[in-house]
């Protein structure tokens, strides 16, 4: 089956096809889910090489669980976000703290050079502030504001109540704002208000 024909098929239906030996489903799931898994891992870890390892491991676990997957039980992405978070937690526990001036990852500079540089600087500043947040606050903020998920889904991924998610988000945003407040002029925010 061509990949185009699979764009309207849900993730869990593709996973069932995968379990039945459909190679096109394997390719479709790889192309659809690996970017999300990688981006999430990188936002939680702040490290590209480690994020790649986590992404590959998370996808491997997905392939292995495919024969036992029951359609309708849970969203595949919800399951994956949870696996990624657990893998990242394991790595962060074992790893030494990241240096505060860790270099940002190479960024896409397809947009205008100035805007790209400013955007890159903002991403870099946010990433450095994110890795200083407590782990659960970071996870909640990333899921809400970078993965664009709703609070109920975040609650499902983190296996906590919606109220607890809201509390983590409030504290996380406040900490991020405090962390970034001193760099506004440097990051181009002063220009926007003039």
Partner 1 sequence: MNDDDITALKAHFEAARSHAARPSEALLARVLADAMQIQEEQAETPAPQGRAPAHEAGFWRQVFQGLGGWPALTGLATATVVGIWIGASPPSGLEGYLAEGEAAFVVDLDPWDAFDLASVMEGAM
Residue closest to 45 by CA, chosen among 138, 155, 184: 138
Residues 112, 150, 161, 174: which binds partner 1 (CB under 8 A)? Answer: 174
* 45, 102 Cβ separation under 8 angstroms: no
Q: Is 193 in the site for partner 1 (CB under 8 A)?
A: yes
* 59, 114 Cβ separation under 8 angstroms: no
Tell me the torsion sign for CA atoms 17, 23, 29, 32. Answer: negative
Q: Tokens 């500043």 correspond to what residue?
A: 125
Q: How many other C-beta atoms lie within 10 A of the C-beta of residue 39?
A: 16
Q: Is 87 in the site for partner 1 (CB under 8 A)?
A: no
Per-residue binding string, partner 1, 107-146, x by CB under 8 A, is: xx---------xxx-xx-xxx-----------------xx
What the block records as the tokens of 40 is 């999430």
Nearer to partner 1, 64 or 93 (CB): 64
Nearer to partner 1, 14 or 92 (CB): 14
Q: Tokens 């506004």 correspond to what residue?
A: 184
Residues found near partner 1 in the complex (CB under 8 A): 18-19, 21, 23, 26-27, 29-31, 34-35, 38-39, 42-43, 48, 51-52, 55-56, 59-60, 63-64, 66-67, 105, 107-108, 118-120, 122-123, 125-127, 145-146, 148, 173-174, 176-177, 180-181, 184, 187, 189, 192-193
């Amino acid at each position: 089956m061509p990949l185009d024909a699979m764009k309207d098929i849900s993730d869990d239906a593709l996973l069932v096809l995968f379990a039945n030996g459909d190679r096109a489903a394997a390719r479709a799931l790889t192309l659809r889910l690996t970017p999300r898994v990688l981006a999430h891992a990188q936002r939680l870890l702040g490290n590209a090489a480690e994020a790649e390892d986590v992404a590959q491991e998370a996808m491997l676990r997905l392939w292995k669980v495919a024969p036992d997957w029951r359609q309708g039980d849970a969203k595949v992405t919800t399951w994956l976000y949870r696996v990624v978070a657990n893998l990242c937690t394991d790595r962060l526990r074992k790893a030494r703290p990241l240096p505060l001036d860790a270099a940002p990852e190479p960024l896409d500079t397809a947009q205008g050079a100035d805007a790209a540089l400013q955007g890159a600087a903002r991403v870099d500043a946010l990433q450095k502030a994110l890795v200083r947040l407590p782990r659960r606050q970071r996870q909640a903020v990333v899921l809400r504001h970078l993965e664009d998920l709703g609070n109920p889904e975040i609650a499902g991924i983190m296996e906590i109540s919606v109220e607890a998610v809201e509390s983590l988000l409030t504290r996380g945003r406040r900490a991020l704002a405090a962390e970034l407040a001193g760099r506004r002029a440097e990051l181009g925010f002063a220009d926007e208000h003039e």
